[in-house]
A and B are shown apart, each in its own frame.
Chain A
Amino acid sequence: MRHLLIVLLLWLPLTAQAAIDSFEFSDEATRERFYSLTAELRCPKCQNQNIADSNSPIAQDLRTEIHRMLQQGDSDKDIVDFMVARYGEFVLYRPRVTAQTLVLWYGPFGLLAVGAVVVLVMTRRRKKAPRPGISAGSESSQTEPVEPLSDAERHRLDKLLKQDEK
Chain B
Amino acid sequence: MLRRLLVFIPLLIFVTVSVFLWRGLQLDPTELPSALIGKPVPAFSLSSVFDENAQLTQEQLKGKPALLNVWATWCPTCKQEHEQLNRIARNEGVTIYGINYKDDRAKAQEWLTRYENPYVLNIYDDKGLLGLDLGVYGAPETYILDKDGIIRYRHVGEVNEKVWDTLRRRMQDLEGSGS
Closest 6 CB pairs of A and B: A44-B137, A88-B35, A86-B135, A45-B137, A58-B137, A87-B135
Tell me if A61 and B34 are in contact (CB < 8 A).
Answer: no
What 1/0 mask marks residues of chain A from 28 to 71 whose CB sits below 8 Å from any chain B CB? 00000000000000001101000000000110011001000000
Q: Could you tell me if B138 and A45 are in contact, using CB atoms closer than 8 angstroms?
A: yes
Which residue of chain B has its CB nearest to the CB of A45? B137
Q: Taking the complex as formed, is B30 at the interface, i.e. its CB lies under 8 A from any CB of chain A?
A: yes
Residues B135 and A44 in contact, CB atoms below 8 Å apart: yes
Chain B interface (Cβ within 8 Å of chain A)? 29-30, 32-36, 102, 128, 132-138
Contacts A57-B102, A61-B128 given; indicate if A87 touches B35 (C-beta within 8 A).
Answer: yes
Q: How many residue pairs between the two chains, A and B, have CB atoms under 8 Å in the bound complex?
A: 33
Q: Which residues of A contact B (CB under 8 A)?
A: 44-45, 47, 57-58, 61-62, 65, 84-88, 90
Bound state CA distance, A96 and B128, in angstroms? Answer: 28
Smallest CB–CB gap between B141 and chain A, Å? 11
Q: Is the CB of A44 within 8 A of B132?
A: no
Whether the Cβ atoms of A90 and B102 lie closer than 8 Å is no
Contact B34–A58 (Cβ < 8 Å): no
A90 to B35, CA, bound (A): 9
29 contacts between A and B (CB under 8 A): A44-B32, A44-B135, A44-B137, A45-B137, A45-B138, A47-B29, A47-B30, A57-B102, A58-B136, A58-B137, A58-B138, A61-B128, A61-B132, A84-B35, A86-B35, A86-B36, A86-B132, A86-B133, A86-B134, A86-B135, A87-B32, A87-B135, A87-B137, A88-B32, A88-B33, A88-B34, A88-B35, A88-B135, A90-B32
Give Cα distance in the complex from A154 to B66, angstroms.
Answer: 97
Q: B168 CB to closest chain A CB, in angstroms?
A: 26
Please indicate which of the listed interface residues B35, B128, B134, B136 has the most CB atoms of chain A within 10 Å of its own CB.
B35
From residue A104, how far is it (CB to closest CB) to chain B in Å? 15
Instruction: Return chain B residues, CB-CB under 8 Å to A90.
Output: 32
| Complexed CA–CA distance, A84 and B138 (Å) | 17
Expressed in whole angstroms, the Cα–Cα distance for A61 and B127 within the complex equals 9
Instruction: Give chain B residues whose Cβ lies under 8 Å from the Cβ of A58.
Output: 136-138
B residues within 8 A CB of A85? 35
A163 to B62: give the CA distance in the assembly, Å: 101
Rounded to whole angstroms, the CA-CA distance of A61 and B136 in the bound complex is 11
The CA-CA distance from A87 to B135 in the complex, in Å, is 5
What is the CA–CA distance of A85 and B137 in the complex, to the nearest angstrom? 14
Given contacts A44-B32, A57-B102, A88-B32, contact A65 B137 (CB under 8 A): no
- Which residues of chain A are near B30, meaning CB under 8 Å? 47
B102: chain A residues at CB < 8 Å are: 57
Kindly state the separation between the CA atoms of A57 and B136 in the bound complex, as whole angstroms: 11
- Once bound together, how far apart are the Cα atoms of A57 and B138, in whole Å? 9
Residue of B nearest to A84 (CB): B35
| Chain B contacts for A86, CB-based, 8 A | 35-36, 132-135
Q: Name which residue of chain A comes closest to B102, CB basis.
A: A57
A62 to B137 CA separation, bound complex (whole angstroms): 10
Q: Which residues of A contact B29 (CB under 8 A)?
A: 47
